[in-house]
């Protein structure tokens, strides 16, 4: 199993942090991982994306030309990366900032109002963590427990308030996934 993931958005949306959390969680679970960041001309406000490859076997290259998964946090990223997504690939789109055509019937497209959920938590900076909660529960590439431990480790120096806020954001993403997948 190999999952080639592109996470993309504006600089300042926590794109790299999300990629690092995912990559570190996968490493903790003993998987082969690569993380490859790419920045636009500006750090904050410019475009940013990263590639995370997770596999059970050795990874030949961190470069991905046709990802199996795209997580898009803004319209330019959505438009750019949906065109190179593998057939039957998964796309996760932040519908708070991306206008998804109502005619879209792609069963592999998951629409998450991540920014809106983060705003309701009182901190827009947790948009990436909300998306991560949804993503982890949909793909099962890593366990929620491992990601929660990684969040605690990553934000340890920022204090309990920041850790708790990010854990809550992660849980809100999980909750949104559960609500969307009730039968």
pLDDT of residue 101: 66
> Is residue 166's pLDDT more than 60?
yes
What are the phi and psi torsion angles at 159 (to 5°)? 100, 165
Please report, for the domain that includes residue 45, its CATH number.
Answer: 3.40.920.10
pLDDT of residue 78: 92
> Is residue 164's pLDDT more than 60?
yes
Percentage of the chain lying above the pLDDT 70 cut: 91
Looking at every residue in the chain, the average pLDDT score rounds to: 91
pLDDT of residue 21: 97
- What is the spatial distance between Cα 133 and Cα 147, in angstroms, rounded to a whole number? 9
Q: For residue 19, what are the domain limits?
A: 2-180
If one compares 115 and 40, the residue with the highest pLDDT of the two is 115
Winning range, highest mean pLDDT, from 12-16, 46-50, 97-101, 136-140: 136-140
Is 5 within 8 Å of 22 (Cβ atoms)?
yes
Give the total number of structural domains in the chain: 1
Give the global pTM: 0.91
* Segment 81-110, tens digit of pLDDT: 999 999 999 999 998 888 776 655 567 889
Give the closest residue to 4 by CA, choosing from 32, 27, 28. 32
List Cβ neighbours of 142 (8 Å cut-off, separation of 6 or more): 22, 25, 26, 29, 31, 54, 136
> Is residue 183's pLDDT more than 60?
no
The residue-averaged pLDDT of 126-141 equals 97
- What is the spatial distance between Cα 42 and Cα 10, in angstroms, rounded to a whole number? 9
Give the closest residue to 69 by CA, choosing from 48, 53, 91. 91
* Segment 35-89, tens digit of pLDDT: 999 876 655 556 789 999 999 999 988 889 999 999 999 999 999 999 999 999 9
């Amino acid at each position: 199993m190999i999952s080639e993931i592109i996470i993309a958005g504006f600089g300042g949306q926590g794109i790299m942090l999300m990629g690092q959390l995912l990559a570190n969680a996968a490493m903790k679970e003993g998987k082969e991982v690569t993380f490859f960041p790419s920045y636009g001309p500006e750090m904050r406000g410019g475009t940013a994306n990263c590639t995370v490859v997770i596999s059970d076997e050795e990874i030949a290259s961190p470069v991905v030309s046709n990802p199996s998964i795209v997580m898009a946090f803004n319209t330019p990223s959505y438009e750019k990366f949906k065109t190179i997504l593998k057939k039957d690939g998964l796309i996760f789109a932040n519908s708070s900032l991306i206008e998804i055509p109502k005619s879209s019937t792609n069963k592999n497209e998951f629409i998450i109002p991540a920014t809106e959920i983060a705003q309701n938590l009182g901190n827009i900076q947790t948009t990436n963590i909300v998306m991560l909660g949804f993503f982890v529960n949909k793909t099962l590439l890593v366990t929620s427990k491992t990601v929660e431990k990684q969040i605690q480790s990553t934000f340890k120096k920022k204090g309990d308030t920041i850790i708790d806020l990010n854990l809550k954001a992660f849980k809100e993403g999980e909750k949104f996934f559960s609500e969307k997948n009730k039968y």
